[in-house]
Homo-oligomer: A and B are copies of this chain.
Amino acid sequence: MSLARVHNFSISLDGFGTGEGQSRETPFGHAGERLHPWMFATRWWHENTGQPGGSSGLDDAFARRFLPNIGAEIMGAGKFGYPGWHENPDWKGWWGPNPPFHTPTFVLTHHPRPSIEMEGGTTFHFLDATPAEALATARKAAGDLDVRIGGGVSVLRDFLTARLIDHMHITVTPILLGRGERLWDGLEDLDQDYEIETVSSPSGVTHLTFTRR
């Protein structure tokens, strides 16, 4: 069965998946890059960005679960671009000509536009759809493979609220952002649907894995 999976989704200790004040220059608002240093330090990230070295322990083991067996991604408009990107016909995402998804990638937006084929197997499709509808569409595109739910925060929360997530890897970075978008709002008793495993890393982050019971 094709699973809906979340990987490498980082939140602060106070639960924010992004800071306040997102813009073209600051995709994560005032959080900057403070949520993700654990990932940038991994060998997996180094390999993907053409750098030597990188850590090869726990953080790396989690990070590289991002690609295997994934046949499509779903992301929100706020992950694909800065506020207002839909008014820019040339916007093709943050990631340059060869985005790291390498599959059909469905962008949820109220302003659909024609699909964009990128290098490396990523094609952006634009959908105005509910989470359940988007997941059905992405599953068809993924064949027998799984679908990654890529965020941002509100999209992940919508999928959790709709009880559509089968596997979720969240990383808690020990910083306090104070403001931004909270992941956990309105998800009382969500834990009862999952086996939750918690493991702290020498890097200081904590990896949480949620596996549907």
Residues in A lying within 8 Å of B, measured CB to CB: 13-15, 174-179, 184-191, 196-200, 204-206, 208
Residues of B within 8 A of A204 (CB): 196-198
Please list the 9 inter-chain residue pairs (A to B) with the smallest Cβ-Cβ separation, ordered nearest first: A178-B188, A14-B184, A200-B200, A198-B200, A174-B196, A176-B190, A175-B191, A176-B191, A199-B200
- Alpha-carbon gap, A185 to B12, bound state (A): 12
Minimal beta-carbon separation of A33 from chain B (angstroms):
15
26 contacts between A and B (CB under 8 A): A13-B184, A13-B208, A14-B15, A14-B184, A15-B15, A15-B184, A174-B196, A174-B208, A175-B191, A176-B187, A176-B188, A176-B189, A176-B191, A177-B188, A178-B187, A178-B188, A178-B189, A196-B204, A197-B204, A198-B200, A198-B204, A198-B205, A199-B200, A200-B200, A200-B206, A206-B206
Main secondary structure of the interface of A (DSSP, over half): loop
- Alpha-carbon gap, A189 to B179, bound state (A): 10
Residues of B within 8 A of A186 (CB): 178
Beyond A184-B14, A200-B198, A200-B200, whether A191 also contacts B174 by CB under 8 A is yes
User: What residue of chain B has the Cβ atom nearest to residue A180's Cβ?
Assistant: B188
- Alpha-carbon gap, A175 to B208, bound state (A): 12
- Alpha-carbon gap, A146 to B54, bound state (A): 42
Residues of B within 8 A of A14 (CB): 15, 184-185, 187
Minimal beta-carbon separation of A4 from chain B (angstroms):
19
